[in-house]
Chain A
Amino acid sequence: MIEVKGVHKSFGDLEVLKGIDLTVNRGGVVSIIGASGSGKSTLLYCINAIEKINAGNIIVDGIDVHDKSTDINELRQNLGMVFQQWNSFPHLTVLENAALAPQIVKGFSKEKAQEIAKKELIHVGLGDKLHEYPTRMSGGQQQRLAIARALAMEPPYMLFDEVTSALDPELVGEVLDTLRLLRDDGMTMICVTHEIAFAKEVSDKVAFFHEGLIEEMGTPEQVLGNPQKERTQQFLSKVL
């Protein structure tokens, strides 16, 4: 379970998160929507301890992420993260990309790491690209590689930060299909996304962020189908 309690976060004078409360249960899929600059991505960065927080707590399976005694590198093994930019390692083949972290972080043998990596790559549909170099692949394929690379660490949670935003429109579908696949596997996911239709389809819970606060949260039917707050209505009328 991921529990976000009263989280505040500022960059200098700019307060981006102004008290966020959010709970994600095992097996749940939470989508976060909202305008650019509303703090959606920052929250993911705070959950993964890439950014520090100014107040509040983030608890993952009972461990306080921002406590000084927490081993962040160990914690991150439980929190797979995929970014807007796929960031494939250009000097490694697809298989080596996905096998690197299991090998050096978890200390698996090369064979075992590659076995796990191969399994995840086949799962996301890259089974025929194992020995290609990622720079020769499309953005959609590289983003699926990024997903497989995170999955190879076998994390119970996955965080997705606008994973389709940097893609050409015709490549968005294949990445969303991969996310659907993970949902069907029962993966616990937090998706920051601009794909409203997708959020409606896969989520158990949707949170609408506005200027650092959760303006409205509930089932997709409530928030997206029948929004109560004026700001939510305005946002949805703009993007739909």
Chain B
Amino acid sequence: MNLFTPLSWNDAGFILAGILNTVYISLVAIIIGSILGLLVGFIRAESNKSINVLLGGFLDILRSVPLIIQLILFTTFIGAMGYPLNPFVAGSIILSLYTMAFMSEVFRSGFDSVPENMVKAARSLGMTYLQTVRYVRVPIGMRAVFPSWLGVALSVRKDSALVSVIGYMELLRTAEQLISRTQQPLMILLGVGLFYFMISYPLSRYGKYVERKMEI
């Protein structure tokens, strides 16, 4: 019996599932991370120093401990507590929190970029505090930081590959399994790399384009 079978078209479905899982967990992390990041960024832009130090310290830990360690720690921890989660849920939680840590800084600088006078002008028109947030600060601040947001989102999509270490069948892990069967690492990894590039490159070009357009 031949132990190693070459790559064939039958593997396409397997690879596609890996691709979809990568896209899926990235989207979940980007969406949840952005929503939480927007909230936390707003709280940080509005809060006094002591709350900021506290919150900043927590976010600092999320940013200063490598993602791969966070993933291993979290799964081991919930495993030890007796509530093992499936790899997708555990990966989503950590990846979302990690994304939130970066997004909150992006959004915070967005909120800070809205001039105080513009908010005063809005209030002088009779808008309530919440209305100025909803109609002035969020739309203006978020436009200013869109390119940075896109940058974080793209790097999250690359970081999602690390979720493979806790057993989630995303693209990288799919590729690893194919490699161990076919023994064709170069070709498969090149294909995987090409896929990441094909998603990232047009998007980052788009980000540059938006950035240039907003400078005018």
Contact = CB atoms under 8 A, between A and B. Distances in A.
B4 interface: no
Contacts of A122: none
Nearest to A100: B135
Contacts of B124: 48, 50, 76, 79-81, 83, 150
Interface string A133-161: 00000000000001001100100000000
A89 interface: yes
Contacts of A105: 125-127, 131
Contacts of B120: 50, 83, 87
Contact of B135 (A48, A85, A90, A104): A104
Contacts of A91: 139-140, 143
Interface string A103-137: 01110000000000000000000000000000000
A106 B128 CA distance: 12
A121 to B, nearest CB: 15
B8 interface: no
A59 interface: no
B36 interface: no
B117 A104 contact: no
Given A87-B115, A100-B135, A104-B135, A77 B121 contact: no
Interface residues on B, range: 10 to 19
B140 A101 contact: no
Interface in B133-151: 135-136, 139-140, 143
A48 B126 CA distance: 10
Nearest to B129: A73
A91 B144 CA distance: 10
Interface string B145-177: 000000000000000000000000000000000
A240 B209 CA distance: 50
Interface string A82-96: 010101011100000
Nearest to B128: A73
A101 B125 contact: yes
A74 interface: yes
B125 A153 contact: yes
21 contacts: A50-B123, A76-B125, A76-B126, A81-B124, A83-B120, A83-B121, A83-B124, A87-B117, A89-B136, A90-B143, A100-B135, A101-B122, A101-B126, A104-B135, A105-B126, A105-B127, A105-B131, A106-B126, A146-B121, A150-B124, A153-B126
Given A76-B126, A83-B120, 19 more contacts: A77-B126, A80-B125, A83-B117, A83-B124, A85-B115, A87-B115, A89-B136, A90-B140, A90-B143, A91-B143, A100-B125, A100-B135, A101-B125, A101-B126, A104-B135, A105-B126, A149-B125, A150-B124, A150-B125
Interface of A: 48, 50, 73-74, 76-77, 79-81, 83, 85, 87, 89-91, 100-101, 104-106, 146, 149-150, 153
